A and B are shown apart, each in its own frame.
Chain A
Amino acid sequence: MLKYAIKRILLMIPTLLAVAVIVFLVLRVVPGDIVELKLTAEGGEVSLEQIEAEKTRLGLNDPLHVQFIKYMSGLPRGDLGISLWTEEPVSAEIAARIGLSFELALLSTILAVIIAFPLGTLSALFRGTILDYIIRILTIGGIAVPSFWLGMLLIMLVLATIGTLPPLGTVSLFADPLVNLQQMIWPAISVGYRYSSVVARMLRSSILEVLSEDYIRTARAKGLYEKIVIVKHGMRNALLPTVTVIGLEFAFLLGGLVVTESVFNLNGIGKLFVDSVVRNDLNLLQGLVLTVATAFVVVNLLIDLFYAALDPRIRYQS
């Protein structure tokens, strides 16, 4: 197991290196000019010399290979360069916001799992009944409803019932957990609905697949209680693909957060991501993309290790 784990961890390095190189190259083609945008934002005339001087100061006029070496040599130290807009270190900008996004991601995962498990299981066990149809429509709906719109509806609902919306994302979880949860629950629901639908659908189809396996027929034929057949023989095997989906959706949650954080005006990395594009802040965008890729690779690793722990076949194969 340890050997397998080490091998998998070492395999992460080339993947992340490739992402770093490609992201660097792709973002150097960006036509927009942050410096011009930044200087003209304050209004007034800006001369070409001023723009050039600012560019030189920020290191944007360095030859590509110099920029590349500087960027790559910073990576092992966790140095992602400075944000071209605020001139703070990119890693500090991300670190300041990642906690909020992580909390939101975790909260919506918990919500999603709580909702998805009963829905997916019931839908599979009562296949073809009215209940199954209702759950299927609900979960197809979850994939269709834009999370930002659901967020807007929730804000409307809160305004109409409670009256005022607590200012969002200002109270930290550790300062006052209750107020924090009151604030975070709405964005978590708006992300979680889609998330739970994806998981419930996966669970439904994998339970259905497992239930048609030979060993289920064997279990039934030898006279086991249906409950034991479903829980011990069915669910256990259906869980593997479902866990993968939960993990992947978690790693990909930033996609959902990008819009949701904008709706609820939360200062997380999703919003930072949109800001970095609007402002042409290449260094920040680059750092964020690398962060997303790292999150994905790490979650993938955890899923694989989890699989290997559960299923000896995977350990020995490789």
Chain B
Amino acid sequence: MSKMNIAKPKRRTVWDFIKQQPLGFIGLILILIMSIAAIFSPEVAPYHPEDVDFEASPALGGGQPSWDHLLGADAFGRDILSRLIYGARTALSIGFLSAFIGCTVGAIIGTTSAYFGGKIDLIIQRLIDLMLSFPIVVLAIVVIAVFPKTVVAGIDINVIIAIAIPFTPKVARVIRSQALTIVTLPYVDAAKSAGFSATRTIFRHILPNVTAPYLIMLTAFIGQAILLEASLSYLGLGVVEPTPSWGLMLSGVNSDYYRTAAWMIIYPGLAVSIAVFSFNLFGDSLRDWLDPKLKL
């Protein structure tokens, strides 16, 4: 017993995550599969999403799932599987970008609020309270009403902003509560007394320490954002034709097709559900693993 047993600092690896959070790992794999489908859409999809095959239109009694069209065809005779694969691009890009913007802006507002405290903190908190008194969908639709439609490089900027804005106050609130304990720590005092500017202290010393809740919220909100994009597009307020989007594929389905072309309804909704499910599963497990006490 001459040597003291010093516990090694626990390094948690990806392997630990797989072992401890099998459900989260399944989510991660599904996310990877979807990402690959989205990135390599032209290689993976059997058809171009806008290719029209009128003979396969359910309006003419065709379009059933077959070897030509594995998941069937839509009212214009467009291949559903191909539109789903290209739709993953829309869903994941809008989902990721809006969650990223919402979480990052929210994190900056939250840490700033905690750093300055006092009146600034109070004003920011009241504004956040105000924004939190609206359901996410309602806030997003109001933003859609206010922002003109803007498409840059095939990506709907206004939809991304509309989804990001309702996330911002939620993230700001959680991050602020985490940052409040950090600003009392000695190294923040040290940074302040070393004469660092507020910007430097916030970005270099406080923000890096809220990475765990930030990552957890980012994954959770990507799922939410995909769901929101689908809902907005379904309502005709999000992405517009001919961009392949899962929500849009469900929009304006003729009532006859409820009986005759169930595949037009089943698969796009399944795609949304699986995508959101995977992100939620992964996000949930990430939280259990990194910070079980975090409340979203």
Contact = CB atoms under 8 A, between A and B. Distances in A.
Interface of A: 15, 18-19, 22, 26-27, 29-32, 133, 136-137, 140-141, 143-146, 148-150, 152-153, 155-156, 159-160, 252-256, 258-259, 262, 273-274, 277-278, 280, 285, 289, 292-293, 296-297, 300
B276 A144 contact: yes
B271 to A, nearest CB: 10
Interface in B135-163: 135-138, 141-142, 144-146, 148
Contact of B144 (A15, A255, A277, A300): A277
Contact of B262 (A156, A256, A292): A156
Nearest to A194: B227
B259 interface: yes
Contacts of B275: 144
A289 B146 CA distance: 13
A153 B265 contact: yes
A292 B137 CA distance: 12
Contacts of A150: 269
B177 interface: no
> Chain B, interface size: which category?
35 or more
Given A258-B137, A292-B135, A143 B276 contact: yes
6 contacts: A144-B273, A146-B231, A255-B136, A259-B231, A259-B235, A296-B134
Interface in B102-155: 126, 129-130, 133-138, 141-142, 144-146, 148
A146 B230 contact: yes
Nearest to A152: B265
Given A141-B277, A259-B235, 8 more contacts: A26-B146, A31-B148, A144-B276, A146-B269, A152-B258, A255-B138, A259-B231, A273-B138
Q: Indicate the member of B136, B145, B234 with the most A CB atoms within 10 Å.
A: B145
B215 interface: no
Given A140-B277, A153-B265, A296 B133 contact: yes
B79 interface: no
Contacts of B258: 152, 155-156, 159
Contacts, number: 129
Q: Indicate the member of B137, B259, B266, B273 with the most A CB atoms within 10 Å.
A: B137
Interface in B216-256: 223, 227, 230-231, 234-237, 247, 250, 253
Nearest to B259: A159
A273 B148 CA distance: 18
B272 interface: yes
A297 B137 contact: no
Contact of A146 (B129, B227, B237): B227
Interface string B2-13: 000000000000
Nearest to B272: A146
Contacts of A26: 142, 146
Given A15-B133, A293-B133, A277 B273 contact: no
Contacts of A141: 273, 277
B182 interface: no
Given A18-B130, A285-B145, A296-B133, A258 B235 contact: yes
Interface string B61-91: 0000000000000000000000000000000
Q: Indicate the member of A133, A144, A156 with the most B CB atoms within 10 Å.
A: A144
A238 to B, nearest CB: 14
Given A27-B145, A146-B231, A159-B259, A140 B281 contact: yes
B138 A292 contact: yes
A146 B275 CA distance: 11
Nearest to A28: B146
A152 B247 CA distance: 12
A232 B223 CA distance: 37
A289 B273 contact: no
B139 to A, nearest CB: 9
Contacts of A277: 141-142, 144-145, 237
B134 A152 contact: no
B145 to A, nearest CB: 5
Given A27-B146, A144-B280, A289 B134 contact: yes
A98 to B, nearest CB: 15
A285 B262 contact: no
Contacts of A300: 133
Nearest to B136: A255
Given A15-B130, A277-B237, A289-B134, A144 B227 contact: yes
Contacts of A30: 145-146
Contacts of A146: 227, 230-231, 234, 247, 269, 272-273, 276
Contacts of B145: 27, 30, 32, 277, 280, 285
Contacts of A144: 223, 227, 272-277, 280
Contact of B250 (A32, A136, A149, A292): A149
B54 to A, nearest CB: 25
Contact of A153 (B148, B234, B266): B266
Nearest to A259: B231
Nearest to B264: A152
Contact of A22 (B130, B223, B274, B280): B130
A149 B227 CA distance: 11
B253 A152 contact: yes
A4 B26 CA distance: 49
Interface in B260-289: 262, 265-266, 268-269, 272-277, 280-281, 284
